[in-house]
Amino acid sequence: MNDAGATGGEPVAEDLSEPVLPGRGASDYERYLRTDELLSLQKTPEEWEHRDELLFQTVHQSSELWLKLAWTEAEEATRLLDEHDVAPALRLLRRATECMRTVHALLDMLEQMSPWEYTRWVRPLLGHGSGFDSPGFNGVRRVSPALGEAFHRLRRAEGLALAELYRRGREFEDLYQLAELLTEWDERVTFWRARHYQVVSRIIGDEVVGTQGTPVELLGGLIKRRLYPELWRVRNELTSLAQAQAGGDSPVPGHGR
C-alpha cells in the first residue's frame, strides 16, 4: 500500500514538520517531553521576590528528577537481583551512581548565590521547606536497604563471607562487581550529604538553625552515616589479613593506608 492519490499519481510525501503525538505543544518534541508543563513549574519574573529564585528552583527541581531516576534504577536492580539476574542489575546500578554524580555537580550552582541576597530575600520564601523533605533523596534512602539485603542473599547463597568474596573475587566476578557498586552507591550518597552540608554552610553558615529548626551542624554529623557499613568494615579486615599473611601484625610505615 502506498500514498498515491486516487488518480494514480506520485506518492504524497508525509509532512514531517507536523506533530503526530497527542498532547500540548507545537512539536512532537514538546509534546513527548511535556515542556509546556515542565517550564511552567518555575515562578515567572513577575512573581519573583529575587531573581535567584529561578536558579534555586531550577537546581532543586532538576535534582529531584535525577534522584527519581537514581532510586528507580536502584529499585529495579534490586528486583533483578532477587531473580538472580545480576548482569542487568549491574548496568542499572552504574546508571544510578552516575545519577548521584550529576546531582552532586548540580549543587555547585547554588554557590553562585550571594549569601546575603539568599538569606535576605530567597530563604524567607521557603516557609518550612527543608532538604529533609526531598522526595527524591527519601526515595534513595527507602530503596537502599532492600538493595543491600538482595546482595547479601546472593552472597550467602554462595556460602561466602564478605571478606572471602573479596579474596576470591575473580571466581565470583559478578558478586564482586556488585559489592563494589554498592560501595560506590554508598559513597555517592555520602558525597551528596557532604556537598550539601558544605553548600549550606557556605551560604547561611554552620552555626545557625535551618528552616525546620534543625541546626546546620546536624547535617555535618549525617556525613558519617553509611548505608552499608559492613562493606567499609571489611576493608579493615582485608588489610589485617593481608598483613598477617605477609608476616607482620602492623602496617609498613607509609604503606597500606
Q: Which are the contacts of 200, defined by CB distance < 8 A and separation ≥ 6?
A: 206, 210, 216, 219
Sign of the alpha-carbon torsion through 158, 159, 161, 164: negative
Give the pLDDT of residue 132.
81
Q: Is 11 helix (H, G, I), strand (E, B) or coil?
A: strand
- Chain CA centroid to CA 84, Å: 24
**Average pLDDT of the residues in 159-175:** 97
Task: Decide: residue 229, CB within 10 A, 0-12 exposed, 13-18 middle, 19+ buried.
Answer: exposed
**Average pLDDT of the residues in 155-177:** 97
Measured between its terminal Cα atoms, the distance across the chain in Å is 72
Give the pLDDT of residue 5.
52
Sign of the alpha-carbon torsion through 49, 51, 54, 60: negative
Residue 120 grid coordinates: 535576605
Residue 214 grid coordinates: 534543625
| DSSP annotation string for 146-193 | HHHHHHHHHHHHTT--HHHHHHTGGGGHHHHHHHHHHHHHHHHHHHHH
Packed helices 135-157 and 52-82: angle between N→C axes, nearest 10 degrees: 20
pTM over cut 0.75: yes
Of 8-12, 49-53, 121-125, least confident by mean pLDDT is 8-12
| pLDDT above 90 for 97 | yes
β-bridge partners, 209? 215
pLDDT band of residue 98 (cuts 50, 70, 90) is very high
Give the pLDDT of residue 4.
53
Question: What domains are defined for the chain?
Answer: 10-40 (no CATH), 51-243 (1.20.58.480)
**Average pLDDT of the residues in 191-209:** 84
Other Cβ atoms closer than 10 A to 197: 19
**Average pLDDT of the residues in 210-237:** 78
Distance CA 108, CA 25 (A): 32
**Average pLDDT of the residues in 45-62:** 97
- pLDDT by residue (tens digit) across 103-140? 999 999 999 999 999 999 999 999 988 878 999 999 99
Q: What percent of the chain has pLDDT over 70?
A: 87
| pLDDT above 60 for 3 | no
Rounded to the nearest integer, the mean pLDDT of the chain is 89
Cβ pair 100, 70 in contact under 8 A: yes
**Average pLDDT of the residues in 62-73:** 98
| pLDDT above 60 for 7 | no
Q: C-alpha angle with apex 32: 31 to 38, nearest 5 degrees? A: 75
pLDDT band of residue 201 (cuts 50, 70, 90) is confident
Q: What is the maximum alpha-carbon separation in the chain?
A: 93
Residue bearing the bigger pLDDT, 253 or 193: 193
| pLDDT above 50 for 1 | no
**Average pLDDT of the residues in 167-186:** 97
* CA-to-CA dists, residue 236 to 32, 182, 185, angstroms: 50, 17, 19
* CA-to-CA dists, residue 4 to 7, 15, 129, 220, angstroms: 8, 15, 61, 70
Residue 191 grid coordinates: 558525597
Give the pLDDT of residue 114.
95
